[in-house]
Structure 1
Amino acid sequence: MTRRLLYSYLALALLVLAGLEIPLGYLYARGETSRFAQTVERDATMLAEVTEENIEEGNTGELPDVIGDYTARTGGGAVVVDRTGVVLAASGSAVRTGTNLSAEPDIAAALDNRPTTGTDDGGDGDEVLYSTQPGASGTTIRGALRLTYPMTTVTERVHRIWLVLALVGACILAAVALVAFTLARWITRPLRTLHRATTQLAEGRLTNPPDATRGPPELRELAASFTHTATRLRQLLDAQQAFAGEASHQLKTPLTALRLRLENFEPYLDPRALDSLDEAVAEVERLGRMVHGLLALARLENTATTAEPTDLDAVLADRAAMWEPLAAEQHVAVAVTGTSAGRVWAIPGALEQVVDNLVANALRVSPPGTTLTLTRAPGAELHVVDQGPGLPAADRERAFDRFWRASDSHHDGTGLGLPIVRHLVRASGGEITLHSAPGGGLDARVRLRPASPNGEFRSGGGGGGRRRATGGSSRSLDISGEILAR
């Protein structure tokens, strides 16, 4: 913004200078040409009177000295002709004595007692100013005088004034640039501090509030308002996180006590009621997982974490090795295919949790004798493909909605798992989608950002949980305490 303001000031100053200096330069050039023409015409008139007297008295031999002395002092050229147009004397000119110039328009007009002043190309391409005056006494014409000067005498002065105007304009622009830069920096200082504060706030902290003491009043008010809003938002987030922690602790105890009380009823119940008791205990357990999932999702949305380069190949190899024993118990094979993916951007611990829970989902629906495939595709893309029943297109669109569960689902999921996974993937700068797998089943595609050697990327928000320990329980999600439900 500083640069744009500076350019705006300079453009305005340049427009003003052009509007002033260009007309001034043209006026000076016209005035200089007019003054020069008047001077030449005056001198030509005076010389014509002198030469006319010499011609009248028959002193034509003195004419070369008269005009020669003048042209030597002024650098012009002069030609004197008699009343028939024959050259009597010439100085500073290529015309020779005795040449008849009566046919030339300016000489003919002067011999007709009509003076002329104008410009001509001079015969060699250089423009000259001439003034031809009649040498007359009353109505008697005794001759004429032509006085010429090269126009370079004027153009050099005009060029000098244009150069002076250009230098003055450059100095003014330099002064305007210095003042404009100082003013633009002063105006944009609150915006720069506000930008830094906004970036910090997006990362979950505000160590340097925007400067509300400098800059225009409107920007100072904006900085103060932002600081107040950020402080209030931080208080609300702290209160929400405190509530999440307290609610997790306070709800865990009564739910555990309720589960124990229900289990204590077992010896005293009629055998026909045991199935209902098991269902009640299962619902209490599901309620506990749902509470954990809600609290985990709240913590994710209120926490900002910076993405870091993560080795996708190493994570896949580690998680596949961890899941193979459980998959073998269900007679399901786990295969890792595709070319090496290298390093990708992911918030700490997120990639392990995403892989764990997508695999857990896939194992839940995989029939015995099938293969669960983890495929690395070009462009830092991961596919988790099962051979289960799959999902209709409408259900795949809704699978990431909170609390959504497939209508034909028979497991005890809470419907919070995939929303948490999507939040982890998006916080890492990627995207997750569900597709129908060839031959049946579901293809969960996770697209991440490759971590190039010189690349830099920061997540746009969301949080990441702690890093999952290798070999941990395959039936728990670190951040939510549940297996993801499709």
Structure 2
Amino acid sequence: MTRRLLYSYLGVALLVLAGLEIPLGYLYARGETDRFAQSVERDATMLAEVTEENIEEGNTADLPTLIGDYTTRTGGQVIVVDRTGVVLAASGSAVPAGTNLSAEPDIATALNNQPTTGTRTATDGGGKALYATQPGASGTTIRGALRLTYPMTMVTDRIHTIWLALALAGACVLAAVAVVAFTLARWITRPLRTLHRATTQLADGRLTNPPDATSGPPELRELAASFTHTATRLQQLLDAQQAFAGEASHQLKTPLTALRLRLENFEPYLDPRAHDSLDETIGEVERLGRMVHGLLALARLENSATTPEPTDLDAVLAERAAMWESLAAEQYVALAVTGTTAGRVWAIPGALEQVIDNLVANALRVSPPGSTLTLTRTPGAELHVIDQGPGMPPADRERAFDRFWRASDAHHDGTGLGLPIVRHLVRASGGEITLHPAPGGGLDARVRLQPAPPTNGSKGQRRLTSASSPSARAATTVR
């Protein structure tokens, strides 16, 4: 924004300078040209009178000296002709004496007792020249004519000088405007810069440097103060929520565990016909415990702001597959890892382990004995968890990531929080997860992640160990 404000100020200043200096330059150039032409006409008239007297008195031999002195003093070129247009004297050697110039328009006009002024090509080929041709006459008697010529560079050099002076003055003004505009723009945008830093910090989870509310325009100071108040209040709410999540995680476990133990202790004293209801009640208490645990885990995930790091997808997949292989074998389900090497991907610490664990746990619950659960890697850092279960209709796949949602035909005691946690972890890592029908039946959970640049093996191994540590996996598998 500072750059845009600076450009806008300079643009306005440039328009003002152009509106002032360009007309001024043209007016000066026109005035200088007019003054130069008038000066040439005046000198030509004076010289024509002097030469006419010399011609009348028959002193034509003095004409070369007269015009030579004038040429030496002023730099102008003079040609004197008699009444027939024959050159009597000329400064320089461009036109020798005796040349008949009566056919030239300005000489013919002057011999008709009419003065002429204009521009023509210089006789020496040096560009344009301003000429003034005056008749040498006494009344109606024409005794000759005189042409006075000056190169236009004598006036164009002065015009160029004034244009250069105007350009330098404009540049100095623009430089001064740039300094003032930059200072003013920095002053205006200072609260915005501090506000940007504050919003970045708040997005990362903690506002440590509130925006500056003491400088800048009043509107921006009010905005900074309002943002600080809002951020402080939001931070208090987040702290309270985090505190609640931490305390509830501890406080709710004890009464739920005690409730389950008390219900189990009722079994010897109940009528056998009530045992089925007691078992169902204990199952609901266990499900409530898992649901509370999932809610707290999801709350901790949403309140944490973790930066994705490069993680070795192949190593994590191999580790989790080895862990789940024995559990799958107990259900007579084969676990296969296929596909090409995926390499390193961007993921928040511990996210890949939780994602794979939740997806595999969900797939095992619906996989029939004798089926195969396939973990496939495809190019582009994409992971597929494919089961051979009953699959999901399109309407259920669209709602599968809603909290607490369970399929109407579900026959397990899930909480409906596993897939929402998976989606949160994947999106926090910069990826996306979708559900698709698997070829031949079943469900294909596709996890698309962002590829990370490869590094040396030791560094990648250190990061993988850190990401796979128990402390990094704050939320465990929620079914």
| TM-score in terms of structure 2 length | 0.94
Deviates more, 1:12-21 or 1:56-65: 12-21
Q: Secondary structure at the match of 1:309?
A: strand
Contact 2:344 2:454 in 1 (8 A): no
The residue aligned with 1:109 is 109
Which amino acid is the alignment partner of residue 407 of structure 1? S
The residue aligned with 2:388 is 387
Distance 1:468 1:71, change over 3 A: closer
Q: Secondary structure at the match of 1:118?
A: strand
Q: Secondary structure at the match of 2:84?
A: coil
Distance 1:284 1:468, change over 3 A: farther
The residue aligned with 2:80 is 80
- C-alpha separation between the residues in 2 aligned to 1:401 and 1:379? 27
Contact 1:79 1:93 in 2 (8 A): no
Distance 1:453 1:222, change over 3 A: farther
Q: Secondary structure at the match of 1:310?
A: strand
Which amino acid is the alignment partner of residue 235 of structure 1? Q
Contact 1:353 1:468 in 2 (8 A): no
Distance 1:167 1:93, change over 3 A: farther
- C-alpha separation between the residues in 2 aligned to 1:230 and 1:390? 45
- C-alpha separation between the residues in 2 aligned to 1:451 and 1:318? 20
How far has the Cα of 1:483 moved from its partner? 3.3
Summarize deviations over 1:109-136 as a string: whole Å, max 9, x none. Answer: 1111111111112353611111011111
Identity of aligned residues (%): 84
Q: Secondary structure at the match of 1:66?
A: helix
Which amino acid is the alignment partner of residue 135 of structure 1? G
The residue aligned with 2:478 is 483
Contact 1:289 1:482 in 2 (8 A): no
Distance 1:76 1:481, change over 3 A: closer
| Paired residue total | 468
Summarize deviations over 1:193-219 as a string: whole Å, max 9, x none. Answer: 111111111111111111112222221
Summarize deviations over 1:449-476 as a string: whole Å, max 9, x none. Answer: 111259xxxxxxxxxxx96658x9xxxx
Which amino acid is the alignment partner of residue 483 of structure 1? V
The residue aligned with 2:64 is 64
The residue aligned with 2:2 is 2
Contact 2:351 2:473 in 1 (8 A): no
| TM-score in terms of structure 1 length | 0.92
Unpaired runs of at least 5, structure 2: 456-465
Contact 2:357 2:477 in 1 (8 A): no
Is 1:154 the counterpart of 2:155? The answer is: yes
Summarize deviations over 1:235-272 as a string: whole Å, max 9, x none. Answer: 11111222223333333333223222221221122222
The residue aligned with 2:238 is 237
Summarize deviations over 1:143-167 as a string: whole Å, max 9, x none. Answer: 1111011111111111122222222
Q: Secondary structure at the match of 1:63?
A: helix
Q: Secondary structure at the match of 2:155?
A: helix
The residue aligned with 2:407 is 406
Summarize deviations over 1:305-342 as a string: whole Å, max 9, x none. Answer: 11111111110011011111111111111111111111
Contact 2:287 2:415 in 1 (8 A): yes
Correspondences of 1:268-307 after superposition (within 5 Å): 268-307=269-308
Unpaired runs of at least 5, structure 1: 455-465
Correspondences of 1:27-426 after superposition (within 5 Å): 27-92=27-92, 94-123=94-123, 124=125, 126-426=127-427
How far has the Cα of 1:478 moved from its partner? 6.1
Which amino acid is the alignment partner of residue 138 of structure 2? S
